[in-house]
Amino acid sequence: MGVVIESEIWENNQHLSIFIFVSCLLSIVGLPQNSSRISTVVFDQPPPSSFLRFQRNFLLLFCFSSVMEGMWSVFGEYEMAYFGVKNEEMASSLIIGSASALFIGTALGMVSDLIGRKKVCLMFCILHLFVAVWKRLFSHPSIWLASVCLSIASSIFLFGFETWMVSEHDKLEHRLDSLNEMFWLMTFLESASLIGSQVLANWLVSNDFEKNMFSPSIATALLALVSIISIAREWRETPPATFKDYRISLNTHVFFDKRIWLLGWAQSCVQFSVAAFWILWAPTIVADGRQVNLGMIYPCLLGAKMLGSTTFPWFINGPLPLRTEDCLVYAFVIAGVVLSIVAYDYQEIGILVGLFCLFHACIGLILPSLARLRTLYVPNDLRGGMISLSLAPANTGILLCLILRGYTGSIENSTIIAFGAAAMFSAAGCMHLLKQSGKHSHHQNFHKQ
């Protein structure tokens, strides 16, 4: 009997996109009473104008930065293929980028605490501007140089804007519940901006790929320039602590606190699993050889993450409030089960897309929840260093997986996904231990109530 290979292109059901969009809309419209308005935290007194201005400007700047990040993730592979970069060279660029994130990005969090978060966020924009101009000036730019710069910028993105927002929030002396609003809004708007970067890149390139090849780089350069001007003119930072005081504080509150170690390991597990997913999700879906319209699946995954972020206020302030650690345990277990199913056996494409959406919905809830716990357990002056140090194990794991898979071929894609599932279960265990430690000792809240 002959084998017939299907030739049609698989596309996800449009009802899934509509369902995610309507669910996000209903979740936001029906937020719990004390979270129903983004800019209003307590109803008995209106928020000051300084807070409203800070919130609008920061969220707009964060959206611009997310679009810059998304331009490379959406358009980078096609751009490298246009310049004739082979698969082996692409794998090498990923390895070099991971090594840069490990050896340079790990220290940048502590550097941001010492020199100021504003300067590090400026560095993020300058790196994107440099790469965009480099691509525009040279017909065949160094892919390794671009990978190093963009990997460092991605490391800054993971901690820089959150730590800067929290420090500015403290300076304005606003309440903790308004800070919680900002956490889920940042996760929500990041995903929305990544979808916007996909739409923008497709619109700029249009049908004439060769003619409009450099349009995304020009757009990135313009966004970077606007962001640099905005950061330089809008905000003023307080002088950071000296190195001696910072080192003493880091030893006291981070290195010798078991609860922060548990929180940092959970953050590292999340970063490893998410990075492994985004490297392998496309090869996993097309493993059966059929053609798939990946561009239509990408916004569904990010839409699911947006939906997950809107559930954060429901669990924190909703009719059935849960302790943050309990909420994270459930989310980590569900995410681990999802990745275990993907790693265990081949699934139909429709089932895979549904599982991937569920995974991202969990991630959308996990990220603001971990940010909230960092506010409760980590001093704001040490936040950047704590986050960057916690990402070191994740970057190490990703680097090893890329070397073993890309060069030696000694592990399979399913094995890497299984590692991601194990990381999710490990993070769930950390949250359980963190909850148990909280029963015996009251945590110190480093933010105004």
Residue 374: which pLDDT band, with cuts at 50, 70 and 90? very high
Residue 427: which pLDDT band, with cuts at 50, 70 and 90? very high
| 241-442 homologous superfamily | MFS general substrate transporter like domains (1.20.1250.20)
**Winning range, highest mean pLDDT, from 58-72, 87-101, 346-360:** 58-72
Let me know if the fold of 54-238 is the same as that of 241-442: yes
Fold category of 54-238 in CATH: Growth Hormone; Chain: A; (1.20.1250)
190-194 long-range contacts (CB < 8 A, ≥24 apart) are 190/62, 190/66, 191/302, 191/303, 191/305, 191/306, 191/309, 191/364, 192/63, 192/302, 192/306, 193/62, 193/63, 193/64, 193/66, 193/67, 193/70, 194/66, 194/67, 194/69, 194/70, 194/73, 194/74, 194/302
Q: pLDDT by residue (tens digit) across 11-68?
A: 666 777 788 888 888 878 777 755 444 444 433 455 566 677 888 889 999 999 999 9
Q: Which of 151-160, 400-409, 434-443 has the lowest mean pLDDT?
A: 434-443
Q: Locate the domains of the chain by residue range.
A: 54-238, 241-442
Q: pLDDT by residue (tens digit) across 197-223?
A: 888 887 877 655 555 556 778 888 999
Q: What is the pTM of this model?
A: 0.88
The span from the CA of 34 to the CA of 31, in Å, is: 8
Q: What is the pLDDT of residue 340?
A: 94
**Segment holding 353, helix H or strand E:** helix 349-377
